[in-house]
Structure 1
Amino acid sequence: MTEVLFVVNAGSSSIKFKLYCVAGDDIELMFGGAVDGIGTRPRLKAKSHDGTSLIERSFTVAEVANSAQAQQVVADWVVGEIRDMAIIGIGHRVVHGGPVYSAPVLVDDAVMKTLETFIPLAPLHQLSNLDPIRVLRQRRPDLPQVACFDTAFHRGHPELSDRFALPRALYDEGVRRYGFHGLSYEYVSKALYGIAPEIADKRVIIAHLGSGASVCALQGGRSIETTMGFTALDGLPMGTRSGSLDPGVVLHLIEQKGMSPAAVGQMLYHESGLLGLSGISNDVRELQESERPEAAMAIDFFSLRVAQAIASLSVTLGGLDGIVFTAGVGENAWQVRQNVVDRLHWAGLSLKAEANRRNDRRIDAEGSRTQIFVVATDEERMIAQHTLRLLRSTGVAAREPARS
């Protein structure tokens, strides 16, 4: 019987999933899909590995009002597709591992309780990450589930990169710079050994630019420093998140404007970033299509902050040998890449215009002091690889046929 791995990458408004066939220590994609528009306009879509559409179905808000209900929809459909296959385990993206988890872990009751304590550190993500785990544990308690953490790749940072300038006792309690998007950075850093082996072990900066955005400095294929810190609110401005902010602004909003902490949190997580700057949209595509000056300003602001982050992390690395753009905006918005690199022209960086517009893999111009790449990330494949490795090493992979 064919053995398969199921991977879940759950967010606040969508659940992405993929199914991989296991062949020894390797995996091969069978199909993938998503439920998006959770709580607004829910829709399930899935395609086979060759791009053939398998399903497109809409639901009412009452049917899919939250991530738990979305996972039930996904599970019902997937079970019908794999009746002659055996799921040996399920891998999940979990945004925050806190100070406790520095590597993927098998989920049990104690792990779940610990992960729930990190919900305040990633309120947009952590609860949505954990809901599918609960649903699938109820449906298939025999199936091992593995939590893979976005913070894990950044563990082992030098102390200078981990600390805030706060009392030491807070650091000992876990108030430190964790960093996020680690599964994406890990995948891209490994891909570089095949794409550009001459720089893969050198000083490389990866810009993960999507609705969430951060930049990471790597040396020897390992994270040295990154722009996100204690929470996924830090660093670059994002779709709806503010990014770095003078903490005095938060005090002002609470003490002078009379806003509650909950109202401030709502503003910083849901009403800021590109949406707040433009007053139009959090979607870069919509902002690029708009003729309103506020849209152009929002993109310029974002591009400037990305360029500043790259320059700052270059100091940490002591130089720069390569830049990689990844994630939805990084892979597809050539105008943003152009804006970012143009602001780094002083450092000898330049793009080949035609290659950049085509979203080619390598886009630096002849004579650029630094190689520049566009690499598609694949967090789900990284999760699947971690999951298979842990199941093999612990010997707990399920062997029973899949059932509902």
Structure 2
Amino acid sequence: MNAHNTPPSRDEILAVNAGSSSLKFGLYHCAKAGSEQHAHLSGCFDGLEPGGKPRLRLSDRADEALQVGPGQNAFEQALRRLQALLRDSAPSLRAVAHRVVHGGGVFEGPVRVDATVMAQLRRFEKLAPLHQPHNLDGVQAFAQVWPELPQIACFDTAFHAQLPALEQRFALPEIPALEGVRRYGFHGLSYDYLNQRLHERSTRAQLPGTRALLAHLGNGASLCATLSGQSVATSMGFSALDGLMMGTRSGSVDPGLLLHLLQQGWSAEQIETLLYRQSGLRGVSGISADMRTLRASDASQAQEAIRLFAYRLRREAGALIAVLGGLDILAFTGGIGEHDAALRADLCAGLSFMGVSLDTAANARAVGDTLYAIHAPGSQVEVWVVPTDEGSVAAAQAAALLRNGG
């Protein structure tokens, strides 16, 4: 967008999530960002990887192919198409809010990105190699296209910034080599959104001392235990690899296994590839990282992968409920959490000893863009399905930062 063509009333935030092969975006009114609203323009460019088939998917219209000529960069072409979309929608952009996975122990809230901030954030790339490099490349690309606009980083780790000291600590000595080594937690923008929606829709969520287990289940998966809306424990730790089994990530493994692989001659790069890209649903099934594909398969390996995913979920849920000392609310989100009724039923059955009782019909209906309560009338624990909107939270955080002079 040409700065000279920008209308004077700059009242909108563009929230983006740049990945290795995709670019998700949503346009929000500053005054309403963070309230229960949808972006008034949203969509996703995918297939942006080399050799891919780039396309644009908008929420309110048919897909379109993205034309990328020989030697052209697909991400740059996506940005040009996005510029045209925004020009057609005639928005007045005030800032671009970027989802950034890892803020380390340095950033506990949104920050305007300059060269110094960018250099600090690049240091955390090894802690989230599937996300952080692409998030930051996106920040730089948008800054080149819209140099007049603030580029604001909003962090998945920020929601967990005040984790209790014991939750942050590993049983390791305090030596210089381990400076900054602690549990951080991730999926914070999603958990922040769930927190807000539950507080608006559930009377129980508004009560002091409410114990909630939030499950963000997708290609990346984690659990978060909250007390009165505050994160007190989470399944992901130092990196976005810890905890639950995921699409291609292993989740928790015995560190002795890593020592064994090193002794067998594996390099750090080979181990990273194994744990981040070749494990999880894809590694166990040998078929796919997509739960929908595995559900549709009759292969025994696919069923084994589903069973292991569900078992690890129940096992980790039990640990976090123990930390809370009980459970009042269980909430599902993410691609699997929002759409896989069978998995939700499996976890709820495994937690029936806690007084969780599912409304089977409501659970079957809970697919789509609507928040659903799916607990049975007599359930001691409320159960919700909450379609997440991380962009809304990022936009709200960016708008608040600007209002405060950031």
TM score, norm. by length of structure 1: 0.91
Q: Within 5 A, what are the aligned runs for 1:72-87?
A: 72-83=76-87, 84-87=90-93
Work out whether residues 11 and 125 of structure 1, in 8 Å CA contact, stay in contact via their aligned partners in 2.
yes
Describe the shift of the 1:12–1:349 C-alpha distance in structure 2 as closer, same or farther (beyond 3 A): same
Q: What is aligned with 2:373?
A: 362
Q: CA deviation at 1:64?
A: 7.1
Work out whether residues 38 and 64 of structure 1, in 8 Å CA contact, stay in contact via their aligned partners in 2.
no
> How far apart, in 1, do the equivalents of 2:137 and 2:199 lie?
35
Work out whether residues 327 and 354 of structure 2, in 8 Å CA contact, stay in contact via their aligned partners in 1.
no
> 31, 34, 42: which is aligned to 1:32?
42
Structure 2 residue 360 is matched with structure 1 residue 387:
no
- The SS at the match of 1:337 is helix
Structure 2 residue 388 is matched with structure 1 residue 371:
no
- The SS at the match of 1:88 is strand
Structure 2 residue 225 is matched with structure 1 residue 217:
yes
Structure 2 residue 194 is matched with structure 1 residue 188:
yes
Q: Within 5 A, what are the aligned runs for 1:202-351?
A: 202-256=210-264, 258-351=265-358
Q: CA deviation at 1:365?
A: 2.0
Describe the shift of the 1:391–1:118 C-alpha distance in structure 2 as closer, same or farther (beyond 3 A): same
> 102, 109, 116: which is aligned to 1:110?
116
> How far apart, in 1, do the equivalents of 2:60 and 2:330 lie?
34
Q: What is aligned with 2:60?
A: 52
Larger displacement relative to structure 2 (82-91 or 110-119): 82-91
- The SS at the match of 2:326 is coil
> How far apart, in 2, do the equivalents of 1:259 and 1:62 lie?
38
Q: CA deviation at 1:105?
A: 0.4
**Cα deviations across residues 6-62 of structure 1 (Å, max 9, x unaligned)?**
111122232101122344777862211111122152323243xxx431651145596
Describe the shift of the 1:208–1:28 C-alpha distance in structure 2 as closer, same or farther (beyond 3 A): closer
Work out whether residues 326 and 354 of structure 2, in 8 Å CA contact, stay in contact via their aligned partners in 1.
no
> How far apart, in 2, do the equivalents of 1:115 and 1:73 lie?
26
Listed as ranges, the gaps of 5+ residues in structure 1 are: 397-404
> 153, 156, 161: which is aligned to 1:150?
156
**Cα deviations across residues 127-184 of structure 1 (Å, max 9, x unaligned)?**
0000111112222222111000000000111111001111123697100000000000
Q: What is the one-letter code of the residue matched to 1:18?
A: G
Q: What is the one-letter code of the residue matched to 2:219?
A: S
Aligned pairs, how many? 387
> How far apart, in 2, do the equivalents of 1:334 and 1:59 lie?
38
- The SS at the match of 1:364 is coil
Q: CA deviation at 1:349?
A: 1.8
Work out whether residues 325 and 375 of structure 1, in 8 Å CA contact, stay in contact via their aligned partners in 2.
yes
Q: CA deviation at 1:97?
A: 0.1
Listed as ranges, the gaps of 5+ residues in structure 2 are: 1-6
TM score, norm. by length of structure 2: 0.90
Q: CA deviation at 1:302?
A: 0.7
Q: CA deviation at 1:347?
A: 2.5
Q: What is the one-letter code of the residue matched to 1:106?
A: R
